[in-house]
Amino acid sequence: MGEEMSECEKYVDEKMLVLPRFLKPICQVHPKAAKLFADFYASVWDDGALSKKHKELIFTAIGVATKSPRCIVHVIPAIRAGATDEEILEAVAVGFLAAGFYPNNPGIPYCFEYAAKTLEIAEKYRKGEPWEYLEPPEFRG
């Protein structure tokens, strides 16, 4: 927010309905690879038997269940694809319940935090406020 997006970043954002942090530097050093990744993503996530919105909500729930900050960001494309707050709430509830039902799981109580973070990201996005799901990485030379 505030910075002008490059042509590659705009392409990725249009295809994926979000510009994932990991694709920003790829847009700078290898835009063709970033665009091909966005095309692949769109081929899987676009409307089919399931709508894009539902696929994004499923992946958001997976992010909550696995405590994956990079997956809960899928709430943004879910919103852009038309997800309501009620749908997001139900998806994160499925996610935190799923955390209790697979081997080596983080556990339901730990996933409540990810559910809350997902709802916080959604609220900030809808208000047009800056949102973040992770602290920026620190690169050491």
Asked if 120 and 73 count as a contact pair (C-beta separation under 8 A), the reply is no
Please give the pLDDT value at position 2. 53
Mean pLDDT for 95-111 is 85
Residue 1 has pLDDT above 50, yes or no: no
Residue 134 has pLDDT above 90, yes or no: no
Please give the pLDDT value at position 132. 83
Q: Which residues of 9-27 are buried (b: 16+ CB within 10 A; e: fewer)?
A: bebbbebbbbbbeebbebb
- Tell the residue number behind the tokens 């690879």, with chain if given: 33
Indicate the SS3 state at residue 7.
Answer: helix
Q: What is the CATH number of domain 47-130?
A: 1.20.1290.10
Share of the chain above pLDDT 70, in %: 95
Quick one: pLDDT band at residue 41, thresholds 50, 70, 90?
Answer: very high
Encode pLDDT of 43-56 as tens digits. Answer: 999 999 999 999 99
Please give the pLDDT value at position 139. 62
List the domain boundaries for the chain: 1-46, 47-130
The tokens of 34 are what?
A: 């970033």
Please give the pLDDT value at position 85. 95
Residue 91 has pLDDT above 70, yes or no: yes
Mean pLDDT for 17-42 is 95
* pTM score: 0.88
Alpha helices, H only, the chain? 7-16, 23-29, 31-45, 52-65, 69-72, 75-80, 85-98, 108-127
